[in-house]
A and B are shown apart, each in its own frame.
Chain A
Amino acid sequence: MLPIKLILGLTIALISICCGDVQAQSLNGIFDKAIDSSQKKMVKIFGAGVGRVESYSSGMIVSDNGLIITRQGVFLEGNQVRVITADGKTHEAAVLKRNREIQAALLKIPAKTPDHFKLTDKQVGKKGDWVVAISNAFKVADKREHLSVTLGCITLRSYIEAKRNKRDIAYKGPVILIDCITSNPGAAGGAVIGAKGELIGMIGTIIKSDETNTRLNYTVPTATLKKFVEGKLDTTAVASTKSKTPKKQADLGIRMMKFVGKREPPYADKVTRNSPAYEVGIRPDDLIISLNGKTTKTIADFNEAMSEIEPGKEVIIIFKKPRSDEIIRVPLKAVEKK
Chain B
Amino acid sequence: MKTKITHLLVTLFFLFTGAVGVAQDNQEEKLKLLRGTLLSPKAFRAAAKKIEPALVKIDSFGGISTVAGRIGGIRKQGEGNTTGVMISPDGYFVSSSFNFVNQPPVITVVTSDGKRRVADLLGRDETRRICLLKIRSTKENPVKDMPVPTFVDPKDVKVGQYAISVGYGYGDDTAAVSQGIISANNRAGGRAIQTDANISPANYGGALVDIRGRLLGVCVPLNPRAPSVTAGVEWYDSGIGFAIPLHGLEGIIEKLKDKKTVISPAYLGVQGQFSVVNVGVKIKKVLGPAKAAGIKKGDVIVAIGDKIIRDMTDLRFALSRNVAGDTISVTVRRKEEEQKIEVKLGKAPSSSKKKIEPFKR
Judge whether A30 is part of the interface by a CB distance below 8 angstroms. Answer: yes
- State how many residues of chain B have any CB contact under 8 Å with chain A: 69
The residue in chain A whose Cβ has the minimal distance to the Cβ of B106 is: A287
Judge whether A209 is part of the interface by a CB distance below 8 angstroms. Answer: yes
Q: Pick the contact of A297 from B45, B59, B174, B177 — CB < 8 Å? A: B59
CB distance from B352 to the nearest CB of A (A): 21
Judge whether B41 is part of the interface by a CB distance below 8 angstroms. Answer: yes
Judge whether B79 is part of the interface by a CB distance below 8 angstroms. Answer: yes
On whether the beta carbons of A214 and B33 are closer than 8 Å, the reply is no
On whether the beta carbons of B33 and A22 are closer than 8 Å, the reply is no
On whether the beta carbons of B179 and A179 are closer than 8 Å, the reply is yes
Chain B residues lying within 8 Å of A7, measured Cβ to Cβ, are: 5, 8-9, 12
CB distance from B272 to the nearest CB of A (A): 37
On whether the beta carbons of B116 and A318 are closer than 8 Å, the reply is yes
Q: Pick the contact of B116 from A4, A158, A329 — CB < 8 Å? A: A329
Known A156-B174, A265-B61; contact A212-B23, beta-carbon cutoff 8 A: no
Judge whether B68 is part of the interface by a CB distance below 8 angstroms. Answer: no
On whether the beta carbons of A26 and B200 are closer than 8 Å, the reply is no
On whether the beta carbons of B45 and A22 are closer than 8 Å, the reply is no
Judge whether B56 is part of the interface by a CB distance below 8 angstroms. Answer: no
Chain A residues lying within 8 Å of B361, measured Cβ to Cβ, are: 267, 285, 322
A15 CA to B279 CA in the complex, in Å?
Answer: 56
Q: Pick the contact of B179 from A128, A209, A295 — CB < 8 Å? A: A128
Chain B CB within 10 Å, residue with most, of A30, A261, A297: A297
On whether the beta carbons of B16 and A14 are closer than 8 Å, the reply is yes
A122 CA to B26 CA in the complex, in Å?
Answer: 38
On whether the beta carbons of B174 and A26 are closer than 8 Å, the reply is no
Judge whether B145 is part of the interface by a CB distance below 8 angstroms. Answer: no
Chain A residues lying within 8 Å of B37, measured Cβ to Cβ, are: 29-30, 130
On whether the beta carbons of A155 and B198 are closer than 8 Å, the reply is yes
Judge whether A11 is part of the interface by a CB distance below 8 angstroms. Answer: yes
Chain B residues lying within 8 Å of A326, measured Cβ to Cβ, are: 118, 138, 140-141
CB distance from A227 to the nearest CB of B (A): 23
Chain A residues lying within 8 Å of B41, measured Cβ to Cβ, are: 126, 128-130, 153
Contacts A/B (CB < 8 Å), 14 sampled: A11-B15, A22-B27, A127-B45, A179-B198, A195-B38, A211-B170, A214-B74, A263-B66, A264-B65, A287-B106, A289-B108, A289-B116, A327-B118, A329-B116
Ranked nearest first, the 7 interchain pairs of A and B with the lowest CB-CB distance are A128-B44, A179-B178, A26-B30, A212-B201, A265-B62, A156-B176, A128-B45
